[in-house]
Amino acid sequence: MSVARKLESDTTDAAALLAALKPRAKSLIVTVYGDAILPHGGEAWLGDLIRLMECFGISERLVRTSVFRLTQDGVLAARQVGRRSIYALTPGGRRAFDAAQRKIYAPLTERRDPDENAPWTIALLGGSVDAEQRDALHRELGWAGFGMLGTQALIGTGSDLQRAKDSLTTLGLEDRVTLFEATANSAAGTLRALCHEAWHLDATDQDYRAFIRRFTPLRDRLLAPSEKPAPKEAFTLRILMIHAYRRALLRDPGLPTPLMPDNWSGRTARQLAAEIYDNLQYNAQDFVETGLHGTDGPLPPSAPQFSARFLRLIPD
C-alpha cells in the first residue's frame, strides 16, 4: 500500500483527518459559515468564530486575516456592536451560500437524474469580458453546474437559465454576455466528449474516490455501537468531512447519467457523506449551540429547513 493510500485509510479521528487534509483557513471558515453558522442566521461574533476555529488549530491572527479577506471578497460584512465585531453574510454571499446549500445538502430522496434531452444553457462571453470577470462568472456559476468551454463560453443544463441571468446581473455583465438555450443535435458520444472537456469529469471522479477511501473508515467507526464522539470532536469531524466533500462536489455538474463516466462515484460519495453527517449531527450541534451566541444573548434556533439536510434518510 502506498504512503498516500495508507494515510487515507488511517484517518478516523479529527487530528489525523486535519493532518491529512491540510485545509486552508479562509476556505475552512467558509465551510464553517455554511454548515454551522448559516442555519442560525448567518452571522457570528468574531470571538465566537475564533473559538470555533481553534478546533482546527487555526490561530486568532489567521482567523482575523482570513475574515478580513472574506470581507474584501464581498462574502462577509462587519458591523460593530459596542466594542465587539459581528460578521454576517452579505446579500451576495447569502445567495452563493444558499445555492451551495441546495447542492451539498439536498435530500437523497429528492435527487433525480436530469433529463438528457433537456435544453442546454450557453453563456457566450463578449470580447470586453476580461479574465478576472470571466473567472468570477465561472466561480459564480460553478455551483449551478456550468462548465467552461474554451475561454469564451460556459455551458450548463437548461434549468440553470435563471441562475445564469441572476449571476450576470450580480456581476454587472448582463450587457456583455449573451445567453442562449439550445438542444444537442449530435451523437451521444460527441456530447459526452464535450462534457468531459468542459468539466474534467475524470478528475472529479478521482476526487470522489479519494473522498470515499478517506472517509469510509470514519463511517465504519461511527457505526460501532460504542462510538459516540464528544461534541467538540463531532463538530470537528463534521466540518472536515463536509469541507472535503464540498471540494469534490464543487466540480460535479450533475449531468444526466448517460453523459457521465462509467461507474461514476458521485452517488456513493453522497451516501457516505449523508451517513457520516447523520451520525455526527446531534453531538456536533451541541457544540455549536454552546460555542455561538446571538446578538441578544442565546443563539437563535436553526431554521426548520436545515433540519432536513440529507433528510437523514439513508437508502439501503
Architecture of 120-182 per CATH? 2-Layer Sandwich (3.30)
How many whole angstroms separate alpha carbon 251 and alpha carbon 187? 25
Q: CB neighbours of 87 closer than 8 A, spacing ≥ 6?
A: 43, 44, 46, 49, 67, 70, 71, 76, 77, 78
List the pLDDT tens digit at each of the 316 positions of the chain: 443 444 444 557 899 999 999 999 999 999 999 999 999 989 999 999 999 999 999 999 999 999 999 999 899 999 998 889 999 999 888 888 888 888 898 876 555 556 667 788 899 999 899 999 999 888 888 877 888 988 899 998 766 677 788 888 888 898 999 998 888 777 667 888 888 888 889 899 999 999 999 999 999 999 988 778 999 999 999 999 999 999 889 888 888 888 888 899 999 999 999 999 999 998 999 999 988 988 877 788 887 777 778 865 444 4
Contact present, 143 and 202 (Cβ < 8 Å): no
Q: Which strand (E) or helix (H) includes residue 236?
A: helix 231-249
**Number of DSSP helices (H) and strands (E) in the chain, helices first:** 12, 7
Q: Show the cell assigned to 316.
A: 439501503
State which amino acid sits at residue 203.
Answer: A
Q: Is 132 helix (H, G, I), strand (E, B) or coil?
A: helix
Give the start-to-end residue ranges of the domains of the chain.
120-182
Helix H, strand E, coil C: the string for 219-234 is: HHHHHCCCCCCCHHHH
Cell 487530528 appears where? 15
Q: Show the cell assigned to 162.
A: 435563471
Whole-prediction pTM: 0.85
How many whole angstroms separate alpha carbon 47 and alpha carbon 53? 10
